Structure 1
Amino acid sequence: MPPAERGTDPALSVVTAAPPTPNGDLHLGHLSGPYAAADMYTRARRLTGHDAVYLTGSDLHQSYVPVKARANGVDPYRMADGYADDIARVFAAIGFATDACPRPARDERHRDMVVEFIAILHARGALVPRTGEGLHCAPCDRYLFEAYVSGGCPHCKADSDGNSCEACAQPNVCVDLVDPVCNVCGTSPTRRPYRRLVFPLQRYADRLRAYHARTVMSPQLEALCATMLAAPLPEIPLTHPTDWGIASPVAGFTDQRVYVWAEMVPGYLAALAEALAARGGGDWRAVWDAPESEVVQFFGFDNGYFHTILFPALLMAYDPAIRLPDALLTNEFLHLDDGKFSTSRGHAIWARELLDHVPASAVRFALAHDRPETGPSSFTLDRFRTLVDDELAGRWQSWLDALADRVPLTGVPPLDDPLPGHRRFLADLADLARQCLAAYSAAGFSPRTATRVLVDIVRRATEFAAGQSRLRAFGPSATSDAAVAVETAAARTLAQLAWPVMPEFAEQLWHALGETGSPRWDGVHPAAPGRRLTRTSPFFRPLPADLEQSVWPG
C-alpha cells in the first residue's frame, strides 16, 4: 500500500533505535548495535507484509556534546550538526532506511512535546522537588553529572561516568561514585546541596514487575531488571542545574535543564509524529496505542536501565493508559581485535572509511553474522576477509554464477516432473525459511541466527547442485529441468530472506530473477517459467588487497 494511502492506518510496527550522540564519527561498534538491528527488524516486518516505521534521532542534549566541544574550542551546536550530518551520510551509505530522525535544535515538535511531557508529569505529582547532595568542582565552578564526572561504579566497581554505568548498566546518583573526579580538570569534587525535581522510581516497582513479566526482553535485560527490582529503586533527578538541554517548564526550576534521558521518551513519540506527518498525516497516539500495532525498541545494553526501568515508569506516570513497548531488545559490545573500540586511542575502524572501500551488503553481512547478541564479540579484518572472500565472493558468487549457466536459453523450466529428492530439497528450504523468519521476529530476534540460515541455504543449494551433476550428464530432460527450477527456488528464497540483512544484494538478486520492486515473502517456489537469471556484474567481489592499510593503518 503506498504511503499516502496508509497515513491514517493505526496498525503499525513502531521500531525505535536509541538515537546516536552527535559528538563523533560512527565506528563499526556503533553500527553493529541498535541501528542495524532496528533496520533489519523494520525490513523483516515489511518483507512479511506488515507496515513499519524506523525511528531514531540525534541525542543532542547529552552532556558529552558540550564537553567535547569545549575541549576542541568549537561551538557545540555547530559541532553537533556537523556530526549529525556525518551520521546521516553513514546511515545512507549502509542502507539504514530511517523514517524519522529529528534533530532537537531544529525540531519544534520535539521540543514542544518534551516540555509538555515534563509539565504533565509535574501536574500529576510524579515529579517531586527535593534538596539533596550533588557534586561540585571548585576550579571549574560546575555542577558535576554525566560526562563531567567519573569514578568507581557503586554497584560493580568498574570505571563509570556519572548517572549510569556502561559496564553493569545500573544508575548512580554521582555522589555514590567511588573516588569521583572532574573529567574536565581532574579535581576531586566536593559535595553541595542542590534542589532538583526528582522522579521516585520505587512508586512504580510493582507495575514494572508486571510489565516485565509480559514483555519480550533479551535475557541480559531480564537479569538486569531482576537485580534492580530486588532492592528499592532510586529517585532519579529529572532536572539538573546545567546550561545544556531543554529548559524545565516547571516554576521554580526554569533555570534547570531536563535530564536528557527523560527527554528521550517524548522524543520517540515526536519522531513517530514526524514519520506520520511525512506519510500524509495521522494521530501518533492512535497509532501508538492501536491494538494491531506494536512498539519494539532496540538499544545497547549500557542503556538497559533507561529503556527497561526509567522509560516505562515515565510512561506510566505520564498516562497509565498509554501503551508500553511490546519488546525491548539489546546487544552487547563489539570489540576490535579483542579490545574495546576507543576514539581517544584511535583504536577503531570508522564506518565511513570502510564503506568507501567495501559494498554495504558485505559490511552488513559480516556485522550481522558475528553480532554481539548475548555477550561481546570481536571484529577482526582477518575474519572479515574470510566472510567476504571465502563465503560471499567465493561460495555464494560461485553458486549463483553456475546456476545462471544452468538456466536454459529458453529461461527457467517449469517444475513438471520433480524427483523425490527435489521435493525433499524444497521442504528443506521451507524449514530453513521458517527458522530465518523466526530469527527476524521480536520473540526470537537474532541476526546471527538469520545470517547463518542464509549461509546454510547457499551451502545446501551448492550440495543439491552437486548431487544433480549425474542427472545433467545424461543431457536435457524433464527431470534435469526440474532440478534447475528447484535450484532457482533456493535463489529466490535467498533473495527474500536476505533482504533485511543485505538489502542491496537481495534486490539485485530479486531483479535478476525477473521480479520487481523490493523482495516480499510469498513462500518457497521456483522463479517463474521462462525467466532468465540475468546480471550485469558480480553480486560480490573479493575485498581489496590493500584494505587493511586503507582502513586500519595502525
Structure 2
Amino acid sequence: MGSYGSYVITSSVPSPDSDPHPGQLLALLGADVLGRHLSLRGHRVRHVRYCAKCPCPPPCHDLPALTAQARGERVQRSFLSLWQAGVWEQRELPGPRCEPCGRNLHETEVRGRCGYCAAPCNGTYCHMCERPQDAEHLAALRCVRCGQVPVRTTTRRLVLPLERWRERLVAYHAMDRAQAREPEAVGGRRQRAVLHTYLSELLGRELPAVPVSQEDGHGVPIPLAGWKGHVLDSWFSGAVGYAEAVAASLGRTGQWEETSGRSRVEKAPRIIDFAGVGQVFSHAVLRPVVLLALGAPELPNVVVGHEAARPPAGTPSAGRGTPEEAPDADALRFHLCLTGFGPEWGTASARAYADTVATVLTGGLETWTDTVLDLLAEDFGSTVPAAAPEGPPAAERGELMRRAERSLAAGSFSLQRAAEEFATVVDRAVADLQPLRRLRAAGRYSAYEARLVAHVELLASCAVAAGPLMPGWSAFLTGHLSIGPDEERGRMRSPAAGGTTRLVPAGARLPESVPAYFHEHMQVP
C-alpha cells in the first residue's frame, strides 16, 4: 500500500442527562477499534472526544484549555449568530410541570414510555428505537425527582425548526452515503444500511422543532433581553464544542510526523463520527443542522451508528442488574462488538456475556490454541515444521485479513460484522481439529504436518487481526508466538499477502502452552 490518509475520529462521552448503561460505551469502543485498525494500516489518526461542556481531547492533542466563562462566551456568540440569521424561533410549547416540586420540568427530568416502541425513556430520545421524543406524548409520565405525575402546562421556548433544513439535511446524507462507496468501503455495508433506513423513516414525516432553551438555574445563560433565568440546552453547547474540537484538530493535521520511506498522497482528512446508543438522532440530524447553520466546513464524512445495540421491534426490556463476576476487559470489548448492549443490563445480558466467553473465547479460542500447541509439542518438539500450509485452515487464513479490512474500513465500519467474522473463523478452526486428529491417527503424516502448520498460521493471523477488537489478548498471544510489532503492522497494511507470507516461519520454536487469558463466568440461571 503506497498511499496513506488522515482521519479524525470523533466520539462523545456519555451524557450526564441520560440514564447510564453499557450501550453508551459503544461510541468510544467503536472509535477505539477503528483508530487502532487505521493506525495499523499506516494511516494518520487523531481521536477527538468532546462533551456538552467542552472539547475533551487526550493530553497529547494540546488543544487549548478554556475556563467555564470562556466556553460559555463562545457558546453565546454562536447562539447569537444563529439568532441574527433567523435560525431560532420562539414558540409556546406544551410541557410537564411538577406541582409537588413547584417547577416546570425539562425533557430529561421526566420518565415515561416511548410513544413508538413503549420502551422506558425520558423526554429527549428513546434509547431503544432512537426516535426523538416529546414529553407531552410520553405514556406513564413521572417526575424523576419525586415520582409524581406531572400536570400539563405551556411554556415559552426557543426552538430549532428542523423541517426548514430538510433539503440540506437530505443532501448532506446523500453525499455521506455516496462516500461510503469508496474502494475501501466495498462490502460490509450493513451498518450504513441500518443508519439510512432509520433516516429514511425519520425523513418520511415532518421533522420536529427541537427546543434549545430551558428554565434552569445552571447552564449557559441565553444572551437575549427578556430571557433572564433561561439557559441554553446542553445539546447546543455540545454541537459548538464538537465544531471547535474538530476545527482545532484539523488545524494541526499538517504537524503529524512523517514516516520516512513511505509514499504519501495528502488528502483532506476524513471525519468519522461515532454515535452511541440513543445518540443517532443527535449525531445524524440535530448536530449536522447546527453545523450547516453555523457554516462550519468540518461536517463528518461518515456517521456510524450501532445496529447491534438496537433490539428487534417488540423485544422486551430486561430488568436492571449486575453480572455475577467482573468481566475481562478484552472479553467485554469483544462481547460488545459482537452483540452490542441495549440501555439495560440484566439477567439476559449477563447470560449472553457468559455465553460469549464460554463458547467463543474459552471454549473456542483457548481450546484451539491449547490443542495446536499440544500437538506441536508432542509431535514436533514445539518446533514449527517446514511443510507448506495446506487444507481448510490455509484457505481460511487467506481470507481472514481481507474480511477484517472490509469490516473495519471507515466507510463500511461495523463492529458486529468484524466480531462475527472472527467468531466464525474460530468456530471453523475448532471444528477442523477433528479432521486434523484423524490424519494423525491414520498415519498420514505429510498431510497432518501441513495441516497443523496451517493451524499455526491461522492462529497467528487471528492474533494479529484481533488487535483492534481485543488489543490485550492480541499482544498476549503475538508475544508468545514471537510475532513482532513490525510484522503485525506489515500484515495489516498488506492483507492481500495473507495467504503467502508466513507470520511464524519454519523452525520457530513455540511454547508448549500459554496461560489462560480469559476466565469463564458463572452462568446466570
Q: TM-score range by the shorter chain?
A: 0.7 to 0.9
1:88-107 mapped onto 2 (5 Å cutoff): none
Does 2:398 match 1:400? no
CA contact (8 A) 1:175 1:191 kept: no
Name the CA shift for 1:475/1:385 in 2 (closer, same or farther; >3 Å): same
Normalized against structure 1, the TM-score is what?
0.71
- For 2:364 and 2:111, the matched residues in 1 are separated by 49
- For 1:138 and 1:26, the matched residues in 2 are separated by 27
Name segments (4+ residues, structure 1) moved above 6 Å: 97-102, 104-109, 273-282, 473-480
1:103-252 mapped onto 2 (5 Å cutoff): 111=72, 113-150=74-111, 160-177=121-138, 181-185=142-146, 186-194=148-156, 196-216=157-177, 218-250=192-224, 252=226
- For 1:200 and 1:235, the matched residues in 2 are separated by 4
Partner of 1:16: 10
Letter in 2 for 1:487: H
Partner of 1:81: none
Of residues 34, 39, 64 in structure 1, which corresponds to 2:32? 39
Name the CA shift for 1:535/1:41 in 2 (closer, same or farther; >3 Å): farther
Letter in 2 for 1:19: V
1:47-86 mapped onto 2 (5 Å cutoff): 47-57=40-50
Q: CA deviation at 1:319?
A: 0.6
Partner of 1:532: 509
Q: CA deviation at 1:261?
A: 1.6
Q: CA deviation at 1:253?
A: 3.9
Q: CA deviation at 1:446?
A: 3.2
Letter in 2 for 1:296: I
| 2:401 alignment partner, SS class | helix
CA contact (8 A) 1:101 1:271 kept: no
- For 2:115 and 2:352, the matched residues in 1 are separated by 37
Normalized against structure 2, the TM-score is what?
0.75
Of residues 296, 299, 314 in structure 2, which corresponds to 1:323? 299
Q: CA deviation at 1:169?
A: 3.2
- For 1:295 and 1:483, the matched residues in 2 are separated by 43
Larger CA deviation: 37-46 vs 470-479: 470-479
Partner of 1:458: 426
| 1:184 alignment partner, SS class | coil
- For 1:479 and 1:306, the matched residues in 2 are separated by 57
Name the CA shift for 1:221/1:386 in 2 (closer, same or farther; >3 Å): closer
Partner of 2:474: 506
Q: CA deviation at 1:388?
A: 2.2
- For 1:180 and 1:466, the matched residues in 2 are separated by 58
Partner of 1:66: none
Q: CA deviation at 1:536?
A: 8.0
Letter in 2 for 1:232: E
- For 1:464 and 1:182, the matched residues in 2 are separated by 58
Q: CA deviation at 1:503?
A: 1.1
Structure 2, gaps ≥5 residues long: 178-190, 257-265
Does 2:418 match 1:418? no
Letter in 1 for 2:32: D
| 1:302 alignment partner, SS class | coil
- For 1:25 and 1:292, the matched residues in 2 are separated by 37
Name the CA shift for 1:148/1:437 in 2 (closer, same or farther; >3 Å): same
1:202-234 per-residue CA deviation (whole Å, 9 max, x = no partner) reads 221011122223334644433432233233323
CA contact (8 A) 1:151 1:160 kept: yes
CA contact (8 A) 1:12 1:294 kept: yes
Q: CA deviation at 1:100?
A: 7.9
1:363-442 mapped onto 2 (5 Å cutoff): 363-371=332-340, 379-405=348-374, 406=376, 408=380, 411-414=383-386, 418=388, 421-422=390-391, 425-442=393-410
- For 2:143 and 2:119, the matched residues in 1 are separated by 17
| 1:170 alignment partner, SS class | coil
1:478-528 per-residue CA deviation (whole Å, 9 max, x = no partner) reads 876654543332122101211122111011111222123484314323224
CA contact (8 A) 1:18 1:34 kept: yes
Larger CA deviation: 377-386 vs 467-476: 467-476
Letter in 2 for 1:387: T
Partner of 1:72: none
Of residues 358, 362, 366 in structure 1, which corresponds to 2:331? 362
Structure 1, gaps ≥5 residues long: 1-9, 62-87, 89-96, 283-289
Name the CA shift for 1:227/1:481 in 2 (closer, same or farther; >3 Å): closer
- For 2:518 and 2:134, the matched residues in 1 are separated by 52
- For 2:291 and 2:18, the matched residues in 1 are separated by 31
Larger CA deviation: 474-483 vs 386-395: 474-483
Q: CA deviation at 1:470?
A: 6.7
**Alignment: residue pair count:** 481
- For 2:152 and 2:395, the matched residues in 1 are separated by 69
Amino-acid identity (%): 24
Letter in 2 for 1:312: P
CA contact (8 A) 1:296 1:329 kept: no
Q: CA deviation at 1:477?
A: 8.3
CA contact (8 A) 2:161 2:208 kept: yes
- For 1:311 and 1:418, the matched residues in 2 are separated by 54
Name the CA shift for 1:112/1:461 in 2 (closer, same or farther; >3 Å): farther
Does 2:487 match 1:487? no
Partner of 2:271: 295
Does 2:321 match 1:348? yes
Q: CA deviation at 1:51?
A: 2.7
Name the CA shift for 1:107/1:450 in 2 (closer, same or farther; >3 Å): farther
- For 1:174 and 1:268, the matched residues in 2 are separated by 26
- For 1:317 and 1:202, the matched residues in 2 are separated by 13
CA contact (8 A) 2:129 2:310 kept: no
Q: CA deviation at 1:141?
A: 3.0
